Amino acid sequence: MTRAKTVVSVYGSLAPSDVQRLKNLAELRKKAPAALVREAVEWYLDDHERLEKDKKESTLEQRLKKMEDRLAKLQIRGNIDIGMVFLLMFRHMDLKERSKVVQWAYSGSVQRLRKKLGEDALELVEKVKEDDSVGSEA
């Protein structure tokens, strides 16, 4: 009786430097080079889907990062413009009234935001109120 073969031979080519690396690793791990090649192929086949998914996610992450950076730059430009307008307005106001006017505008903005966002966003409004440095430091 002959025993059925449980494996199929597959042939391929490697660069001489890779063959040497394979032999060195096989010696180090005390395994036959063929066993290491078999493990490598099995690992690749098992993880191929995960690797492709990771590659797609990596591309998506890069796109999201670009979008995030672009939005941050737009926000910075907008904040600079707002700061410039605020400074021009503040510097040209009556010295006695300007702090009071700025505080009035700030409080009005917070109230408007509270109405616009509704009750679910009160926590956000409270954080805005805590950061009242806009109204008091200017």
Is the pLDDT at 2 greater than 80? The verdict is: no
In angstroms, the CA 108 to CA 59 distance is: 44
Task: Write down the pLDDT at residue 10.
Answer: 84
CB 134 within 8 A of CB 106: yes
Tens-place pLDDT, residues 112-138: 877 877 766 667 667 767 766 555 554
Q: Average pLDDT over the chain, rounded to whole? A: 84
**What own/partner pairs with CB < 8 Å and gap ≥ 24 does 19-25 have?**
none
Give me 95's structure tokens: 């010295």
Round to whole Å and give the CA distance between 52 and 100: 60
Rounded Cα gap, residues 113 and 121, in angstroms: 9
| pLDDT tens digits along 32-78 | 999 999 999 988 888 888 878 887 788 888 889 999 999 999 999 99
Residue 134 or 90, more confident:
90
Q: What's this model's pTM, rounded to 2 decimal places? A: 0.40
Break the chain into its structural domains and give their ranges.
15-92, 94-138
CB-facing half-sphere around the CA of 57: CA atoms within 13 A = 6
Compute, in degrees rounded to 10, the torsion defined by CA atoms 17, 18, 20, 23: 180
| 3 state SS of 83 | helix
